[in-house]
Amino acid sequence: MQSEKIFNYWSHSKFISNQKYNFSREEILKVLPKSYIDDAYAAISNWEGYKPTPLIDLNKLSNTYNLNKIFYKDESKRFKLKSFKALGGAYAVEKISAGNKNIIVSTATAGNHGKSVAWGAQRLGLKSKIFISQNVSEARARDIESFGAEIIKVKGNYDDSLKACINQSTQNKWEIIQDVAWKNYELVPKLTMSGYSVMIKEISEQTNHYITHIFLQAGVGGMASAVIAGVARYFKRIPKIIIIEPQSADCVLASIENNKLTRVDIKTESIMGGMSCGEVSLVPWQIIKNSVNNCLSLSDDNIATTVAMLAKAEFSNEKIIGGECSAPGIMSLIMSCNNKKIKQSLDLNEKSNILLIGCEGDTDSKLYKHMVSLGNEKLK
Ligand SMILES: Cc1ncc(COP(=O)(O)O)c(C=O)c1O
């Protein structure tokens, strides 16, 4: 790998261990029951166009760091939505509508979740109303619209769009398909997470190697906790689980450190848009709090470089389209290998089989192109 020397300068922001670590399959599957997980796979694997997304061997990167295997789950190939989110919102729409053609579904979104709900509604011939804040790009809004949704723009940030969605949906009797939980609103987030767990079912059939480590990106923690529940359901051996977040939105890290849900005030929005969340959702927290070994945070520096390197096949034999939220998995692994103490405490060595989740492709194609060219500039 030509660009190997540049990795020497990559370093994490914070790294902590979970003092309350106590992985229990039983407790996890009480929160997200096996029946939910199995139902989701049975339904989604029957959808038209379904096929498992590739599990790519990052052989060039594992050679550089003398690790046995690094697997990258490439969600850029997930249906035509280009992110794992396709598995969640669309599945919740199917379950909640339960064959009723007369309901209207709604949600608030930063982008990918709303697209999944809109697509899920379109598949079933239902109408959808998608609430977005002014922070959501025009390109993302047009993209959601292309799945037949009506876009409702709200002044303010994501929280304001969620409030507007709840108010208007209650008045109009629209079914809210939200990926975050609140008091007495847990079923839909659990269905959404069940959909995401399909990734682990696929991985359990794509490799015979026992996974020793999983690096998991988190926003509100939905994807991370769904993967953990999938591990509890499908994996024979329990890997070390490391949560990754932007340093500006490290709410899982803060909550693990304080041993209670802790909200962080986001002062600067990270370029890792889907992960720029200040509060862990309630259902994920019940799973995450005792199941993750470590949390790591990182800055936006080098995201573009990593996106460009994925595109140039610097980590694997094939080129990979990975968006801004796909990069931090690779970066955290590199940062952990660069730091002797972390490398030792994680037991990263020639026997390690690491799983990284490439959660999205070029979901915002303008931003993606910009990152590739910025990254290529930096690599010169
Ligand atoms: C595109 C995208 N959105 C959102 C998230 C975060 O998911 P969650 O909010 O469920 O933690 C990720 C990955 O962590 C992502 O890649």
Q: Whose CA is nearest to atom 4 of ligand 1?
A: 274
Atom of ligand 1 nearest to the CA of 218: 11
Q: Residue 3: its pLDDT value, please?
A: 59
* Per-residue tokens: 18: 């979970």
Query: What's this model's pTM, rounded to 2 decimal places?
Result: 0.96
Nearest residue to 36 (alpha-carbon basis) of 298, 205, 225, 217:
225
Do 204 and 59 share a domain, yes or no?
yes
**What's residue 119's pLDDT?**
98
Q: Give the atom of ligand 1 at the shortest distance from the alpha carbon of 196.
A: 10
Residue 186 in domain: no
Instruction: Give the model's pLDDT for residue 135.
Output: 85
CA of 324 to the centre of ligand 1 (A): 11
**Shared-domain flag, residues 69 and 205:** yes
Task: With beta carbons less than 8 A apart as the criterion, state whether 153 and 134 touch.
Answer: yes
Q: How many CB atoms lie within 10 A of CB 141?
A: 17
Report the pocket of ligand 1 as residue ranges, CB < 6 Å. 83, 112, 217-224, 274-275, 277, 325, 359-360
74, 199, 217, 332, best to mutate for ligand 1 pocket (most atoms within 8 Å of CB): 217
Closest CA to 238 of 94, 22, 5, 18: 22
Specify whether 67 is located in the same domain as 95: no
d(CA 305, CA 379): 7
**Segments forming the whole domain that contains residue 112:** 89-178
One-letter amino acid identity for 113? H
- C-alpha 129 to ligand 1 mean position (Å): 21
Question: Which of 178, 211, 227 finishes a domain?
Answer: 178
Q: Ligand 1: which residue has its CA nearest to atom 6?
A: 219
The protein residue with its alpha carbon nearest to ligand 1, atom 10, reads: 222
Domain assignment present for residue 187? The answer is no
CA neighbor of 274 nearest in space, from 112, 75, 162:
112
Structural domain tally of the chain? 2
Residue 120 contacts residue 150 (beta carbons within 8 Å): no
Q: What's residue 338's pLDDT?
A: 94
* Residue 208 and residue 347 in one domain: yes
Can you list the residues of the chain whose pLDDT is less than 70? 1-4
pLDDT digits (tens, 9 = 90+) for 118-162: 999 999 999 999 999 988 888 899 999 999 999 999 998 888 999
Closest atom of ligand 1 relative to the 110 alpha carbon: 3
H/E run at residue 243: strand 240-246
Element (H, E) at 70: strand 69-74
Q: What is the Å distance from ligand 1's center to 276 Cα?
A: 9
The residue whose two tokens read 């540049």 is 6
pLDDT in tens, 287-307: 999 999 999 999 999 999 999
Same domain, 57 and 110: no
At residue 149, the pLDDT reads 98
CATH of residue 204's domain is: 3.40.50.1100
Query: Are residues 212 and 326 part of one domain?
Result: yes
Residue 183 lies in a domain: no
Task: Give the atom of ligand 1 at the shortest distance from the alpha carbon of 325.
Answer: 16
Q: Are residues 112 and 160 in the same domain?
A: yes
Q: Ligand 1 centroid to 167 CA: how many Å?
A: 25
Could you tell me the maximum CA-CA distance found in the chain, to the nearest angstrom? 59
User: Is the same domain home to 215 and 361?
Assistant: yes
97 in Cβ contact with 175 (< 8 Å): yes
C-alpha 275 – ligand 1 centre gap (Å):
5
> Measured on CA atoms in the order 200, 227, 94, 54, is the torsion positive or negative?
negative
Compute, in angstroms, the gap from residue 380 CA to the centroid of ligand 1. 31
State the residue for tokens 């696929």: 202
Same domain, 246 and 373: yes
Cβ proximity of 203 and 79 under 8 Å = no
DSSP string covering 128-161, please? EEEEEETTS-HHHHHHHHTTTPEEEEESS-HHHH
- Point out the ligand 1 atom lying closest to the alpha carbon of residue 224: 11
Does one domain contain both 104 and 249? no
Q: Is 363 helix (H, G, I), strand (E, B) or coil?
A: coil
